[in-house]
Amino acid sequence: MSIQLGQIAPDFTAETTAGPIHFHEWAGSSWVVFFSHPKDYTPVCTTELGEAARLKPEFERRNAKIIGLSVDTLERHAGWDADIAETQGQAVNFPMIADSDRKVSEAYGMIHPEADPSVTVRTVFVIDPQKKVRLSLTYPPSTGRNFAEVLRVLDSLQLTDKHKVATPVNWQPGDKAIIVPSLDDAAAKERFPQGWDAQKPYLRWVDVKGS
């Protein structure tokens, strides 16, 4: 099963390092960044978990919760957490799902058919407060994830949900956005009284405030 953008994220119950959760209930009205790890004690993921923990205040500032998953047990998670704190200088401060029966991994398409069935692929999902999947990224085992990019996408999604805009290539918070083509000039004048710069009729640059 593969998860499509716009689809409601599958609900589930699971054991985590922070206790049992019912996923949709746990998510509440927050955004969620949900990311999987092949298994415990993997080197690249050790660095990722430390970085995600360091960035937790940035996710919280964006009304986003973070949660990880591995197919290993809670007992192995506990040992790995100690290694992460030791080597990365930051303890894991968010739940890690123990998906030893692989039910959550399979529901989210995290088990690649060509991969070892005992491990998950390294996937990131961004899920909005309506429980819809808004981003899906899958990384190769050798490449660490870029959490600055995940934060950038969150900023973009929250901005574009509030305004009738899209964000261009390499956009960063504070940069100009693009008025979406579905908004004609008359409607755009009402929404953006400050005006815009039209390079082409379909390419209208506008300054908008953050989310």
Catalytic positions: 45
Under a CB-based contact definition with an 8 Å cutoff, are residues 130 and 140 in contact? Answer: no
| Cα 192 from Cα 189, distance rounded (Å) | 5
- For residue 66, give the 3-state DSSP assignment: strand
Backbone angles phi, psi at 34, to 5 degrees: -115, 120
Sole residue written with tokens 């209930």: 25
DSSP assignments along 34-60, one per residue = EEE-SSSS-HHHHHHHHHHHHTHHHHH
Under a CB-based contact definition with an 8 Å cutoff, are residues 94 and 66 in contact? Answer: yes
Total number of residues shown for the chain: 211
